[in-house]
Amino acid sequence: MVEKVIILGGGPAGLSAAIYTAREGFQPLVISGFATGGQLMLTTLVENIPGFPDGVMGPDFVMQMRKQAEKFGTRFIDSNATAVDLKSRPFKVIVDGNVHETETLVIATGANAKWLGIDSEKAFIGHGVSSCATCDGALFRNKNVIVVGGGDTAMEDSAFLTRFAKSVTIVHRRDSFKASKIMADRVLKNPKIKVIWNSAIIEIKGDVSVKSVSIRNLSSNEITEMPIDGVFVAIGHAPNTEIFKGQLDLSQNGYISTTEEVLTGIEGVYVAGDVADSFYRQAATASGSGVKAALRVREYFQGKE
Ligand SMILES: Cc1cc2nc3c(=O)[nH]c(=O)nc-3n(C[C@H](O)[C@H](O)[C@H](O)COP(=O)(O)OP(=O)(O)OC[C@H]3O[C@@H](n4cnc5c(N)ncnc54)[C@H](O)[C@@H]3O)c2cc1C
């Protein structure tokens, strides 16, 4: 059987594409990956998704989207695709050793924030540890926060967080920033921002939320304790594009390159959400591009009629 549309990814982008293509009657097959629901499964209260004045729990939001997609006839496989062949038609997707053929493909495999990788970090994600200042900054009004990183994102996040936080401390492994000079200078001149150089967080402590961190000076090995309310990890994102290497054009940092919005350059292959977006990285923007991809699927089949 050749599917009309396979969607890779079960986060906001993939699920939005599923809702739209399912309502068109294409009976989409979503390969939603092992992280079904996507990044929002790692959050607690999300306050910036339009339509929820009291906020909505991230996992509840995506599971409602999934239910909506199922209602219109979407089928799901909660495994990762391990390979794709986009060089001949129908396109092929390999999942659990099985080959699935499809006329069109929507790629919405998202990205993962890079984390510090220390044991105590995981327990506090969504409870004081965040990888998204835009998403969670407003929750730290009049609080003291740390930003980890030394690139442009860390600079942007630090400057943004000063709008809410009482103080922002950047913890950076080196003795200078790799961010552009103009952004680094702006941060260094900001009286609300302090920098702890040559240092790394080695432990995050708290009860229901973060209360303090242990910081190791990487030159002297000296360890200090610092009371803190929040830790923003801004050390980059890794798009999930391993299986598309050699099949699609990828940017230098691994994101899928688009020719125009959701178009990839291969007719019938569309891309949506964070997997092609190193800038916006929001649930609403991911969802919007999933809708665009679905409308391109419709256009593809209208063109065939
Ligand atoms: C801690 C945290 C808090 C956040 N808070 C907010 C917030 O408050 N507001 C906001 O707007 N945004 C927030 N975001 C960002 C938001 O979650 C993302 O922008 C959004 O989830 C991106 O959606 P997506 O569908 O593109 O990708 P993702 O959500 O990353 O979903 C990707 C999907 O692809 C699947 N996948 C990956 N590889 C494969 C494969 N090989 N085969 C099949 N499937 C695969 C995964 O299993 C997953 O289902 C937050 C993110 C994090 C990490």
Tell whether ligand 1 has an atom less than 6 A from the beta carbon of residue 159.
no
Tell whether ligand 1 has an atom less than 6 A from the beta carbon of residue 32.
yes
Q: What is the predicted pLDDT for the residue at 15?
A: 98
29, 40, 271: which to mutate for ligand 1, most atoms within 8 A of CB? 40
Tell whether ligand 1 has an atom less than 6 A from the beta carbon of residue 86.
no
What's the mean pLDDT in 9-26? 98
Q: What is the predicted pLDDT for the residue at 156?
A: 92
45, 116, 135, 210: which to mutate for ligand 1, most atoms within 8 A of CB? 135
User: In CATH, what is the architecture of 115-233?
Assistant: 3-Layer(bba) Sandwich (3.50)
230 and 145 Cβ atoms separated by less than 8 Å = yes
Geometric angle at alpha carbon 292, from 291 and 295, rounded to 5°: 90
- Taking CA atoms only, the protein residue closest to ligand 1 atom 9 is 135
**Ligand 1 atom nearest residue 81's Cα:** 42
**Ligand 1 atom nearest residue 126's Cα:** 1
pLDDT band at 305; cut points 50, 70, 90: confident
Tell whether ligand 1 has an atom less than 6 A from the beta carbon of residue 199.
no
- Taking CA atoms only, the protein residue closest to ligand 1 atom 38 is 109
Does 290 or 236 have the greater pLDDT score? 290
Residue position matching structure tokens 């097959």: 29
**Ligand 1 atom nearest residue 37's Cα:** 49
39, 245, 274: which to mutate for ligand 1, most atoms within 8 A of CB? 39
125 token code pair: 């994600």
Tell whether ligand 1 has an atom less than 6 A from the beta carbon of residue 9.
yes
For residue 165, the CA-to-ligand 1 centroid distance in Å is 26
**Where do the structural domains in the chain lie, given as residue ranges?**
2-112+237-304, 115-233
Average pLDDT, the chain: 96
CATH topology of domain 2-112+237-304: FAD/NAD(P)-binding domain (3.50.50)
- Taking CA atoms only, the protein residue closest to ligand 1 atom 30 is 110
What's the mean pLDDT in 246-257? 96
**Ligand 1 atom nearest residue 80's Cα:** 42
Catalytic (active-site) positions: 132, 135-136
pLDDT band at 44; cut points 50, 70, 90: confident
CA dihedral 254, 259, 261, 267 (to 10 degrees): -100
pLDDT of 93 over the 80 cut: yes
What are the pLDDT digits (tens) for 204-216? 999 999 999 999 9
90 and 66 Cβ atoms separated by less than 8 Å = no
Domains 2-112+237-304 and 115-233 share a fold: yes
For residue 191, the CA-to-ligand 1 centroid distance in Å is 34
Q: What is the predicted pLDDT for the residue at 248?
A: 97
**Ligand 1 atom nearest residue 281's Cα:** 19
pLDDT of 18 over the 80 cut: yes
Tell whether ligand 1 has an atom less than 6 A from the beta carbon of residue 155.
no
What's the mean pLDDT in 6-33? 98
For residue 198, the CA-to-ligand 1 centroid distance in Å is 31
For residue 12, the CA-to-ligand 1 centroid distance in Å is 7
